[in-house]
Amino acid sequence: MAEGAENGDPQELTRSGVGDIPRIPLTDVTDGPRFAELDKYEQHFRLTQDDDKLYDWNGYFRGFGPMAAIKPGWYVPLSMRKPSAMMPLAKFIVGRLTSMTLGVDSEPVITCEGDEDAEAYTRALCEASQLFVRGIEARDIGGACGSVAMSYGFVEGAPRVEVHNPKHCRVLEWVDRAELRVGSFLKCYAYTEEELDEKTGRPVETRYFYARFIDSTRDLVWTRITEEQAEDPNWSTLVEPDRAAEVIGGVCPVIWIQNHPHTSSAEPPRAPYDGPSDYEGMCDDLCQIHRLKSATTKGTIANVDPTLVVKEDKSANRGSVRTGSNATIYARGGAEYLYLPGDSMEAAEKRLQSLRTDVLDASGVVAPPAEEVASAAKSAAALRIIFAPMTSVCSVLRASYGSGFERVLVGLLKMARALGADAIDLPKKFERLEPPELEEGEEESEEPAEAEIIEIKLVPGESEQVRLIWPPFFSPTWTDKQIAVQTAKDANGGKSVISHRTAVRSVAQLFGVEDPDSELDAIEDDADRGLDREIQALGAMNGPPGDDGGTLPKPNDDDDGEKGAGARADGGPGTKKPEADGG
């Protein structure tokens, strides 16, 4: 999306024609084998991979509303049935990896080395465009499909970042294939609208196509292309674009991100630039897990509602021997309930858990029992050991997606400089200026100065060296900090190894303290007041200093000044007794 995308003039931007757009039928993108392959992986993430099945898990035709279930006259294979109970393992894998990569306390810090203006401006662009929120969406789609596209631009001065599903996209030209720098980009998808048939007057579903073309100079959008036009390679010359915008900066504002770096060409039907999914090659295992889950669930329900077998003549038998039905089966010799053996259910459950473990291990996702995590949560080192396979995968994901986010921010920064800071709408930033402290001997005025709130003017700066600094996956716990501080203190002879200020700053966030420096000043004030109270209390306990309220004389004071240091008037210890006369 570029500046003016909502108010562009299609005729002005397409006056030279659109014949230079690569000639490719839109139906090749929407109905081709690559779309089907990527859609299969996304369906496992969305849990929609079996929505096209005609039969339910019991083998009946799937009915809707009041329609009764009808059983076909043949055996329906399990692969043709829609599972009744599913294990969302693909969603679990993608969600866990996304959470560790970009979840809570995992967002990176944006830096621009040596340019504070550019750094503050880039952070404001990130906040206004909700880049990291869009980044989570991009990571989910990329984790499911293997790749994802992101575009950036300004709409009426506001920064925007969009995420594009790779199954709808095709890169038509590369500026640098090795660095995944896009030259031109096509996005299209099919949709249906209900219209009245001209001949019958009845509502019918009509298929239309949406298309969007982006290169280094223009951003063109077609919203309503007929299926006949979409099948023509020259579709761009048959329909005028509905919206158009000029791309600022001369660089295609589309970023292509591979989920995992994949420099070699992908196997058909995928495009050479497609990356691997989080659960690449595991779709068959995921389907088996859903079937086992459905089978064990059905067996458990059947055992809860068992079939009664009455042992009478076969001619009186009006049912079939099976579990989970209300039929009564007659047979000579008595009656009993029909159950599935417990060992068969146990074997199915073990196989289900074995498949689940295999898929999680192959994807690098660690899912330990809750009690194991709880016992290890006291130490970051223990957590790093437990989750080592997962952090290894997430480190690669941070590199892949982090590089894409950096390119988005650099592109927005360049566009902002080209448009001018005054044309950009960013959240306002304010700073609180405290009044200057009184100098020694200066009296406080009757109306003390108050803090002043001023607006900080954001400027794009000059640097383009935008970098993301990622936090550690597991920060030291309070137990780790306590052990480290105690160890350092013991090595330092029992002396403190951190300052009072550092200690206050480290615990400030636990108590919601936003200004640790002010908190330090308050602590010092409290200490001074406490000391004053102790001095006053000590004076009250000792009584007045002298009989007349004056100051007691010092031990070595004497009217004549003849007694040396330590002499006492009462001849006590430390004095020399005078000799008697005549003695």
DSSP-derived letter for residue 551 is P
Q: Longest C-alpha distance within the chain, in Å?
A: 155
Phi, psi dihedral angles at 317 (to 5 degrees): -80, 115
Question: Tell me, what's the pLDDT at 323?
Answer: 56
Q: Which residues of 26-50 are buried (b: 16+ CB within 10 A; e: fewer)?
A: bbbbbeeebbebbbebbbbbebebb
How confident is the model at residue 15, as a pLDDT? 44
What secondary structure does DSSP assign to 183-212, as a single string?
Answer: EEEEEEEEEEEEEE-TTT--EEEEEEEEEE
Q: How far apart are CA 409 and CA 135, in angstroms?
A: 12
Q: Give DSSP secondary structure letters for 142-188.
A: HHHHSEEEEEEEEETTEEEEEEE-GGGEEEEEEEETTTTEEEEEEEE
- The pLDDT, as a whole number, for residue 370 is 83
Q: Of 190, 255, 188, 183, nearest to 218 (Cα)?
A: 183
Task: Assign residue 307 a region (left: φ > 0; alpha: ψ between -120 and 50; beta: otherwise).
Answer: beta
Residue 207's CB is within 10 A of a number of other CB atoms, namely: 15
pLDDT at 244: 94
d(CA 143, CA 324): 40
pLDDT means over runs of 10, the chain (583 residues): 51 57 93 96 97 91 72 89 95 97 92 94 95 97 98 95 98 94 97 91 94 96 96 94 94 96 81 94 96 91 75 61 58 66 83 95 93 82 92 97 97 94 85 73 67 85 95 87 80 77 74 75 81 79 57 53 46 48 43
Reported pTM: 0.79
234-256 CB burial, b ≥16 within 10 A, e <16: ebbeebebebbbebbbebbbbbb
Token pair 């329900």: residue: 301
**Whole-angstrom Cα distance, residue 47 to residue 64?**
20
- Between strands 452-456 and 466-469, the pairing is unpaired
Are the CB atoms for 164 and 148 separated by under 8 Å? Answer: yes
Question: Cis before residue 545, ω within 30 degrees of 0?
Answer: no
What is the reported pLDDT for 326?
58
Inter-residue contact 295 to 348 (CB < 8 Å): yes
Q: Provide the β-strand partners of residue 279.
A: none
Q: What is the pLDDT of residue 228?
A: 96
What 3 state SS string does 124-154 have? HHHHHHCHHHHHHHHHHHHHHHCEEEEEEEE
